[in-house]
Amino acid sequence: MAADHYEVLGVDRDATPDEIKKAYRRLARELHPDVNPSADAAERFKLVTHAYDVLSDPKQREQYNLGPQAGPGGSPFGSAQGFSGFEDIFSTFFGGSTGSRGPKSRRERGQDALLRVEIDLADVVFGAHRDLEVDTAVVCGRCNGSCCEPGTHEVTCDICHGTGSIQRSVRSLLGNVMTSSPCGTCRGYGTVIATPCTTCQGQGRVRARKTIPVDIPAGVDTGLRLQLPGQGEVGPAAGPNGDLYLEIKVRHDDVFSRDGDDLLATLEVSMTDAILGTHANFSALDGPVDVEVRAGTQSAEIVTVKSRGITRLRGSGRGDLRIGIQVVTPTKLGRGERELIERFAKQHKAEKPRLSQFQQGLFAKLRDRFLNL
């Protein structure tokens, strides 16, 4: 139980402001740490200073003298319990509530945090692991979230006596009504931190950098947000952690692009390989790929390699790797090469150029074929 302020200063309850000030000055000279370095004197000095702060303020002294009220009284309707509608009306007109719900907790949930993470397209195929360095709020290591300097603790508020609220009687059309408002001394907590922690300044948390291991699942895409429960900031007074949200951004890849769960790529083949057919070997995002180019292949044809796309985020299996063929026509020919091509043209007896149905450009044609498969 908290000590009585009048007893701490050694004055009567009807003492004048001058008598209270004289008593404080006398005790302060006796107990000041510069004069009396003992631990007991230091603790008494804090009590004396707090008592003087309360009793020297006329408003706080009046509230202290009134003390906590027993509850609503004088109302012609008796107890207001169970009539939430009346409580709302009283709160609107008189700036408070008709009953006390107890002091509020210093412990609050921490804020959520948002972090943007860039990954490569290759990481999307099978997923990736990242150790993320984040600046966030963590529990104060000095006070362990108590908000008090080690060796000290919270003390019950002498104004509201631990209730967290001050009640007063208001005259209304319905009679005398008891209204309640948060205590201005303890801000509704019911307790006062006399000696705040010097590291966190009485917050119970500090800013620090910490490492958070994250497993990014396969199949994610730009704009997707992943929720990591309990990995956000710790709340005041070591309250529960908020959540951490990761917003994914997939970096551009110069060779491969994405269409849903499929990967798209363009394979350039020479004119002769397109005519005669060949095998092409190249490295995909997850290893080597062997592709057969059939004889007579035309530009913009699609070769599909099953299950070599992206692992599906929801469901099982993988998409496909779809490869668009681009036949490359040589632009510089030697004399011998040109003679061979001319001889081939005479033997093949190709038709002369003529107008036919309009053909889209290669890349537009490839795009439409990819999308319509």
Residue 367: what pLDDT?
A: 59
Does the annotation list 148 as a binding residue? no
End-to-end CA distance of the chain: 79
| Domains of the chain, residue spans | 1-66, 67-99+155-192, 113-145+202-250, 257-372
Which amino acid is residue 149, in one-letter code? E
Measured CA angle at 111 (ends 226, 250), to 5 deg: 25
Report the CATH fold assignment for 113-145+202-250. HSP40/DNAj peptide-binding domain (2.60.260)
Does the annotation list 147 as a binding residue? no
Rounded CA gap, 35 and 11, in Å? 23
Pick the CATH number of 257-372 from 2.60.40.740, 3.40.430.10, 1.10.260.40, 2.60.260.20: 2.60.260.20
Does the annotation list 183 as a binding residue? yes
CA dihedral 57, 63, 64, 70 (to 10 degrees): 180
CA distances from 342 to 325, 333, 346, 347 (A): 25, 12, 6, 9
Same fold, 113-145+202-250 and 257-372: yes
Neighbours of 246 (CB within 10 A): 21
pLDDT tens digits in sequence order for the chain, 373 residues long: 457 888 889 998 889 998 998 998 888 888 877 677 787 777 888 888 888 888 888 888 887 887 654 333 333 333 333 333 444 444 444 444 444 467 889 999 999 999 999 999 999 998 999 999 999 999 999 999 999 999 999 999 998 989 999 887 777 665 677 778 889 889 999 999 999 999 999 999 999 999 999 999 999 999 999 999 999 999 999 999 999 999 999 999 999 999 999 999 999 999 889 989 999 999 999 899 999 999 999 988 999 999 999 999 887 899 999 999 999 988 888 888 888 877 877 777 666 777 766 555 555 555 555 555 5
> pTM for this structure?
0.63
Residue 372: what pLDDT?
A: 54
Report the CATH fold assignment for 1-66. Helix Hairpins (1.10.287)
Residue 80: what pLDDT?
A: 35
